[in-house]
Amino acid sequence: MKILQNDPDSIKIKVQTHVPLLNTLRRVLLSEVETFAIDIVHVYRNESALDDNQLAHRIGLIPIPEMNTENFQRREHCSCNLDCDRCCLHFRLDVLNTTEEERVVTSTDFVSYHTFSLMENVLICTLPPQGQISLLAKAYLGNGKEHVKWSHIAVPTFRPFPVITFEEKPDNVSASTSDLFLFQRGKIKPNFEKDVSHLLNYNGKTIRLTTGKAKVITAEVFIQPHEKDFLFSFQTIGTFNAKQNFNKAIDTLCRKLDTLKKALQTVVA
Ligand SMILES: [Zn+2]
């Protein structure tokens, strides 16, 4: 396994494994890793243009970044009667527009009752002059199987790793006309900072190359899918960084396999 690109909000990994395992990882990332999301909103006053349901739906989709979920319980497993510090996060929104202009209300206006905050500057609604909004939002642990607001990644994909060859390899190539290709130490590689999903379209096509003597030549390029290596990638929405997401998915998968193993041992015994 090799990390080809690791940004806070996206990751690209070269991995040698099988399609079923990659598909399992993709599904675990999407729907099994637990995060917090706002699920209940008590609206006391709402003088925005949005009705209460639209407002609650919009607030529910605001991510809670850099959450450490390990010390929390799901509400259905918590021993409290209702909404304790171990199963629920409270956020309060109270805004009165005292100006003569329209006032934009964003997630930054929320007051948090603990150390975690909502992602900043997410637009919620606008208030007219003297308009007021007052509500209490409660966030709980959940996962993407229950609702997409608990899903913390986007576009998890995998595809065979592209293997690039030339019909006749030119010497001293330093650049090409397409930014999908990179030349390093005389070798041609996919440029993973770009969307390389279109690379296979170049198979059998002629591209223009610059050689060491600043001479522009053309060469026929072949892009073939690797038999065992895959390119796995996804984007995050801000709850965890890309590497944390990947580690959490692996941990979740291991826990599930362990539970299955123990259940099987009980049956066999
Ligand atoms: Zn509780």
Residue 241 lies in a domain: no
Domains held by the chain: number: 2
Tell me how far apart the alpha carbons of residues 266 and 260 are, in angstroms, rounded to a whole number. 10
Structure confidence by residue, pLDDT tens digits, 145-181: 999 999 888 889 998 888 888 877 677 777 777 778 8
Q: Which of 134, 150, 166 is the last residue of a domain?
A: 150
Residue 68, C-beta contacts closer than 8 angstroms, at least 6 positions apart: none
64 CA distance to ligand 1 centroid (A)? 19
* Sequence letter at residue 196: V
Residue 257 lies in a domain: no
185 CA distance to ligand 1 centroid (A)? 58
Residue 255 lies in a domain: no
What residue numbers bound the domain in which 229 lies? 2-31+154-233
Average pLDDT for 232-252 = 85
Q: Which of 91, 122, 150 is the last residue of a domain?
A: 150
77 CA distance to ligand 1 centroid (A)? 8
Q: Which pair of tokens denotes residue 35? A: 């995060």
Same domain, yes or no: 114 and 13: no
Same domain, yes or no: 76 and 93: yes
- Which residue has better confidence, 1 or 46? 46
Tell me how far apart the alpha carbons of residues 120 and 122 are, in angstroms, rounded to a whole number. 6
126 CA distance to ligand 1 centroid (A)? 34
72 CA distance to ligand 1 centroid (A)? 9
Q: Which of 38-42, 69-73, 186-190, 207-211 has the highest mean pLDDT?
A: 38-42
Residue 119 lies in a domain: yes
What spatial distance separates the first Cα and last Cα of the chain, rounded to whole Å?
37
Structure confidence by residue, pLDDT tens digits, 65-124: 877 788 899 999 999 988 999 999 999 999 999 999 999 999 999 999 888 899 999 999
Give Cα separations from 14 to 82, 171, 177, 223, 246 (angstroms).
45, 27, 25, 17, 13
Residue 121, C-beta contacts closer than 8 angstroms, at least 6 positions apart: 106, 107, 108
85 CA distance to ligand 1 centroid (A)? 6
What is the model's pTM? 0.78
pLDDT for 269 equals 67
Same domain, yes or no: 70 and 159: no
pLDDT for 125 equals 96
